[in-house]
Structure 1
Amino acid sequence: MKQSILSVSDVQSLINGGNKLLLAGEEEALKLLPKGDWVAGTIPYFISKEHGGMVSRELICATDISSFVSSIDIVKYDQNSLARVYAEGPKHGFSFIVIPAMSKTHLSFALNAPNYKDFGVRPLIGWIAGVHLSDLGKKTPKVINGQTGEVLEEGALVLQAQLPENKVAEIGIVNLFEQGDGDILTFTSDDFSAETVMVNGEKRNFAAYIVKNKLDTKLPLVADYYGALVNISFQDVDEVEGRVKFYAPVFSGIRYKHAKPVTDYVKVFNDRLCKECSIESDRVAFSCNCILNYLYSELEGKKTDPFVGPVTFGEIAYQLLNQTLVYLEVMDV
């Protein structure tokens, strides 16, 4: 078992047996677990092997890393100390991070991660904890340190995993979006929202531009970050205020384009997954998918083999991503 959807009692047994686990589930279910070598974030959405996309407030998504890690440490960071996350990562292994959505640490990581010391030098993968969509504004996303029992709604937890010398970790990203052939969009500041956009160098109000050009906001902005395509997903377009909100920050000096239209979201997503299907499923140690993919692809009841795991409010593969699937492979050297 690497990633499975389990009952609370099954997870309790694994913890009591000394297993090292990455967990996702509702806060109430996670709080029933004993202390042990685990770290968790809140979310009730999962992709399972058996049922595909699913929602459960009682079950827990468990990733068992016991069979291939030699040791772990769980470290707590805040919005300032998180700048050390890459420099302090294991020399031979990987770091797994979970951060509560819309916390100060989430916003700080999103804006600043590419400037952290030793950015991208060692594998960092993880996700942004969330809540059931019907609980937005009523409950706060949380992360839990299994070793101490501490529950945080502010900060980040990082599980630093050492690998044996004969194993190596690699991070992969599945992104079904490409830059369209429309206008070049640039922004004047690094932020989660924007009033002004430069359209081919000409200053415009972004909300008015989106409405006038009938941009489909299910399709993200796509930037080419030195060869890697990175999505910035739309959260809200407020015509009255003239402001556009995003799920991840835009950066000044980066050229964005609206994504190429996707005729059949589900088919394209599955085609892109099929390209990755050459990956042997026994090498995929962890994966997570975005809540926007889950909603727009209508993934409830649909399978995304060989990828299972939590459905999140943001994916982390070195930096914060949107509308992607990220995965960790552990391979023999």
Structure 2
Amino acid sequence: MNVLNQALLEPSEAAALIASGGYLAIAGDEAVLAGLPRGNWIGGTIAYFMAQEGGQTTRGKVFVTKLDAFGLLPTITQYDAQHLPSVCQDGPDNGYSLIILPAFSRIHYEFAKNAPMYEDMYMKPLVGWISGAHLDDLATCKPKTLDGRTGELFEDRAVVLHVPLPDNISVNVSIVNLFKQGSGDVIYFEKEGFSASTCVINQRPVSFAKYLKEMGHDTRLPLVADYNGASVNVSFKAVNLQDATVDFYGPVFPKVAYRLADSFHVDYEAAFAQASADLPEASFSCNCILNYLYGELEGKHTGQVIGPMTFGEVAYQLLNQTMVQMTLERH
């Protein structure tokens, strides 16, 4: 594994990399992460990966991203919800910050809601992902992050690697989103949050769960908001007609105009391969668990892009159902 590569590894291989003193971001099952030695790494729980050999679901291996600071000294920082707004300010003047946050936690919500307003946001590269769990365990196991220096596991704290780079190296962040707004109704929500009972359509409140049923909407297609030309997805977690609630993998917000995503007939594997064909080898990449599931990517590839399949992606702000890549360019 060279300095710019990522790889799905056996725990013993990951332990050897930790022992070498390198700075790492590691994704894997909670028990495996907790058993790794202390060192210069941050971690997050997940059991789904795009590996060298294709998509894999595994509790026994870990996905390791080795981060090269080219002789400079990265730092590891923990953030609670109160201190998270300083995450970009704390980042290097030239370099990037890699963040992992636990899904469905208070800090996940804080980041989703307020990250675009953080000081120095969009001025300093911020990438990362939302940790999760095996889908069979969601009812009993909370997603976690881990500080590799101490082995501490957190249910409501972000861990960040701030990585400085020499002045002759710049950072490029790329987002691949296969979805765009459809031409249907404009949908507003009166309350912010990871769930909604009602929405406002054509200036009148309606049950969102009933609306989705009446429309016959395929909930594999997310809600999409248009932020100044950038499509930002909010993915569906569950639609409960009995309780008349709809749960999301990211929060919805008032005063934001959403539309249901346009339907498309595309091969996920081919679409991601085409979208990433001209991108250089990534220093970091991740993709969404929903793309993995809905695209039936087990055993398939997403072009040259590998990485954890996560409960959310970070490219400055929180994203859903996207693929994120970070590459380094030497001048």
1:88 corresponds to = 90
What are structure 2's unaligned runs of at least 5 residues? none
2:300 corresponds to = 302
1:169 corresponds to = 171
1:133 corresponds to = 135
1:58 corresponds to = 60
> Which secondary structure does the structure 1 equivalent of 2:116 belong to?
helix
Pick closer, same or farther for the CA change 1:275–1:154 going to 2, 3 Å.
Answer: closer
| Residue number among 109, 112, 116 corresponding to 2:114 in the alignment | 112
List aligned pairs for 1:1-333, cutoff 5 A.
1=1, 2-49=5-52, 51-66=53-68, 68=70, 70-264=72-266, 267-268=267-268, 270-281=270-281, 284-333=282-331
Q: Distance in 2 between matches of 1:248 and 1:140?
A: 16
Question: Is residue 130–residue 310 contact of structure 2 (8 Å, CA) maintained in 1?
Answer: yes
Q: Distance in 1 between matches of 2:39 and 2:261?
A: 44
Question: Is residue 194–residue 244 contact of structure 1 (8 Å, CA) maintained in 2?
Answer: yes
> Which secondary structure does the structure 1 equivalent of 2:318 belong to?
strand
Question: Is residue 69–residue 162 contact of structure 1 (8 Å, CA) maintained in 2?
Answer: no
Pick closer, same or farther for the CA change 1:64–1:270 going to 2, 3 Å.
Answer: same
> Which secondary structure does the structure 1 equivalent of 2:159 belong to?
strand
Q: Residue 68 of structure 1: CA displacement? A: 4.2
Q: Distance in 2 between matches of 1:187 and 1:227?
A: 20
Q: Distance in 2 between matches of 1:59 and 1:323?
A: 24
- Runs of 4 or more consecutive aligned structure 1 residues displaced over 6 Å after TM superposition: none
Question: Is residue 262–residue 268 contact of structure 1 (8 Å, CA) maintained in 2?
Answer: no
Q: Distance in 2 between matches of 1:194 and 1:102?
A: 15
Q: What's the C-alpha RMSD, in Å, of the aligned pairs?
A: 1.5
TM-score normalised to structure 2 length? 0.95
> Which secondary structure does the structure 2 equivalent of 1:47 belong to?
strand
Q: Distance in 2 between matches of 1:244 and 1:10?
A: 42
TM-score normalised to structure 1 length? 0.94
Question: Is residue 176–residue 269 contact of structure 1 (8 Å, CA) maintained in 2?
Answer: no
Amino acid paired to 1:122: K
Greater mean alpha carbon deviation, residues 207-216 or residues 237-246: 237-246
Q: Residue 67 of structure 1: CA displacement? A: 6.2
> Which secondary structure does the structure 2 equivalent of 1:244 belong to?
strand
Q: What whole-Å deviation, never above 9, does each CA across 1:111-164 have from its counterpart, x for those lacking one?
A: 221222232221111111111111112222221111222221221111100011
Paired residues in the alignment total 328
Q: What fraction of aligned residue pairs are identical, expressed as a percent?
A: 44
Q: Residue 270 of structure 1: CA displacement? A: 2.3
Q: What whole-Å deviation, never above 9, does each CA across 1:279-330 have from its counterpart, x for those lacking one?
A: 122xx10111111111000000001122101111111111111111111111
Q: Distance in 2 between matches of 1:330 and 1:68?
A: 11
Question: Is residue 174–residue 273 contact of structure 1 (8 Å, CA) maintained in 2?
Answer: no
Q: What whole-Å deviation, never above 9, does each CA across 1:58-117 have from its counterpart, x for those lacking one?
A: 111111113646221111100111011122221111010001112211122112212222
Q: Distance in 2 between matches of 1:157 and 1:67?
A: 18
Pick closer, same or farther for the CA change 1:164–1:247 going to 2, 3 Å.
Answer: same
Amino acid paired to 1:201: Q
Pick closer, same or farther for the CA change 1:207–1:171 going to 2, 3 Å.
Answer: same
Question: Is residue 128–residue 312 contact of structure 1 (8 Å, CA) maintained in 2?
Answer: yes
Q: Distance in 1 between matches of 2:59 and 2:268?
A: 30
Amino acid paired to 2:22: N
Q: Distance in 1 between matches of 2:20 and 2:121?
A: 35
Question: Is residue 167–residue 332 contact of structure 1 (8 Å, CA) maintained in 2?
Answer: yes
Q: What whole-Å deviation, never above 9, does each CA across 1:257-283 have from its counterpart, x for those lacking one?
A: 11110223xx155224413311122xx
Q: Distance in 1 between matches of 2:100 and 2:148?
A: 13
Question: Is residue 185–residue 199 contact of structure 1 (8 Å, CA) maintained in 2?
Answer: yes
Amino acid paired to 2:187: L
> Which secondary structure does the structure 1 equivalent of 2:136 belong to?
helix
